[in-house]
């Protein structure tokens, strides 16, 4: 299947990964595979690309793409793995890989995933409430919507969606499901809208946007997995290696910024200690004081890139 996904900040990614021929690279979130295809060209036939995705369809689609004649022997330098990037270290160690030269994580969902109505990510297309990236997992959006208590729903909407009307939306959901099970995306979107005051329904974003984001994050454990992934990526980098992460909302960006900053710190002893006792040394250097964002031209060509923020760390200590 030909991907319709347009890789975000592609030029900036390739520049900042500092790739050389023969490099060992991890694309921790394969998605539509646009970044991976360009990475392959940079590392050449002597390099190695390990591409991970918890979505089996993404892995299968990319395998078909690189088996086409135009990619020739390049397909032989790719290892495709169905797995969550929160398990990256174990996956790599299982393949006998001790260090890598670069790691990329694009935290956005690919257009291929978003455009498949049956996945249930969109509030504009009729589908069952699924929202799972990993189709083998138990938790679905339908279970969250129909089985979480009102208090649990409020917490999800507030913490993961930063939704100001979290209380009234959660109340509307719990009231609606008493009458019948909530089963589809459009049905849920309508209930969400009813929980938002009329004057706030005509803003720049759809009234269901934040709630759908929150439920999706909850279903896929996105923020917890991100917190697990970043330290592993830093540990697996060789000295001089680069970690590049692209986030798409403030919750993700805050986590990335804070963990990179923590790993760039040296001594953490109290200031009144006469000498360092913690022995803490910085593991990385933060390359981006401010995140790199898409150009106006890129946003014009790909509206989904508009909220992207890229942060970079470079390994300086083994």
Instruction: Name the band, by pLDDT with cuts 50, 70 and 90, for residue 4.
Output: low
pLDDT in tens, 39-67: 999 999 899 999 999 999 999 999 998 88
> Which pLDDT score is estimated for 242?
98
Which of 152-166, 228-242, 268-282, 304-318 has the lowest average pLDDT?
Answer: 268-282
pLDDT in tens, 187-203: 999 999 999 998 888 87
> pLDDT above 70 covers what percent of the chain?
95
> Which pLDDT score is estimated for 279?
75
Task: Compare 292 and 75 and report the one with higher pLDDT.
Answer: 292
pLDDT at 177 over 60: yes
200: Cβ contacts below 8 Å, ≥ 6 apart = 165, 207
The Cα 88–Cα 67 span in angstroms is 25
Identify the three-state secondary structure at position 99: coil
> Which pLDDT score is estimated for 56?
93
**Tokens of residue 190, six digits:** 């309508």
> Which pLDDT score is estimated for 268?
76
> Which pLDDT score is estimated for 2?
55
8 A C-beta contact, residue 104 and residue 26? yes
8 A C-beta contact, residue 98 and residue 318? no
CATH class of 10-113+223-315: alpha beta
**Tokens of residue 116, six digits:** 């498949």
The Cα 241–Cα 161 span in angstroms is 34
**Tokens of residue 176, six digits:** 């609606």
The Cα 39–Cα 79 span in angstroms is 13
Phi then psi dihedrals of residue 173, to 5 deg: -65, -45
The Cα 13–Cα 111 span in angstroms is 19
> Which pLDDT score is estimated for 111?
62
Q: Where are the alpha helices (DSSP H) in 104-221?
A: 111-115, 141-147, 150-161, 166-179, 185-194, 209-220
Instruction: Name the band, by pLDDT with cuts 50, 70 and 90, for residue 113.
Output: low
**Tokens of residue 266, six digits:** 């040296």
8 A C-beta contact, residue 130 and residue 120? yes
Instruction: Name the band, by pLDDT with cuts 50, 70 and 90, for residue 117.
Output: low
User: What residue has token string 């507030």?
Assistant: 158
8 A C-beta contact, residue 123 and residue 58? no
Which of 14-18, 74-78, 209-213, 255-259 has the lowest average pLDDT?
Answer: 74-78
> Which pLDDT score is estimated for 267?
77
Identify the three-state secondary structure at position 51: strand
> Which pLDDT score is estimated for 68?
82
Q: Mean pLDDT score of the chain, rounded to an integer?
A: 92
CATH class of 117-220: mainly alpha
Domain residue extents for the chain: 10-113+223-315, 117-220
Task: Compare 155 and 281 and report the one with higher pLDDT.
Answer: 155
pLDDT at 228 over 90: yes
**Tokens of residue 104, six digits:** 């990329």
The count of other CB atoms within 10 Å of the CB of residue 44 is 15
User: What residue has token string 């001790």?
Assistant: 98
> Which pLDDT score is estimated for 299?
94
The Cα 64–Cα 8 span in angstroms is 22
């Amino acid at each position: 299947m030909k991907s319709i996904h347009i890789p975000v900040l592609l030029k900036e990614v390739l520049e900042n990964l500092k790739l050389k021929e023969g490099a060992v690279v991890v694309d921790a979130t394969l998605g539509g595979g646009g970044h991976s295809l360009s990475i392959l060209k940079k590392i050449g036939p002597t390099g190695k690309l390990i591409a991970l995705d918890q979505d089996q369809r993404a892995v299968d689609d990319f395998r078909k793409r690189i088996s086409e004649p135009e990619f020739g022997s390049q397909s032989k330098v790719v290892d495709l793995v169905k797995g969550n990037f929160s398990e990256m270290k174990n996956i790599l160690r299982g393949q006998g890989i001790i260090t890598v030269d670069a790691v990329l994580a694009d935290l956005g969902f690919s257009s291929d995933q978003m455009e498949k109505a049956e996945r249930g990510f969109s509030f504009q297309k009729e589908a069952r409430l699924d929202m799972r990236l990993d189709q083998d997992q138990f938790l679905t959006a339908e279970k969250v919507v129909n089985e979480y208590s009102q208090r649990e729903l409020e917490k999800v909407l507030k913490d993961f969606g930063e939704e100001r009307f979290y209380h009234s939306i959660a109340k509307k959901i719990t009231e609606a499901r008493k009458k019948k099970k909530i089963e589809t995306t459009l049905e849920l979107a309508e209930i969400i809208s009813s929980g938002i005051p009329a004057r706030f329904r005509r803003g720049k974003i759809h009234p269901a946007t934040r709630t759908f984001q929150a439920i999706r994050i909850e279903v896929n454990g996105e923020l917890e997995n991100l917190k697990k992934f970043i330290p592993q990526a830093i540990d697996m980098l060789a000295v001089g290696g680069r970690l590049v992460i692209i986030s798409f909302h403030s919750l993700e960006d805050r986590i990335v910024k804070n963990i990179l900053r923590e790993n760039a710190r040296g001594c953490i002893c109290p200031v009144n200690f006469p000498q360092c006792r913690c022995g803490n040394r910085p593991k990385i250097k933060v390359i981006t004081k401010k995140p790199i964002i898409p150009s106006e031209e890129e946003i014009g060509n790909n509206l989904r890139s508009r909220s992207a923020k890229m942060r970079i760390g470079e390994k300086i200590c083994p």
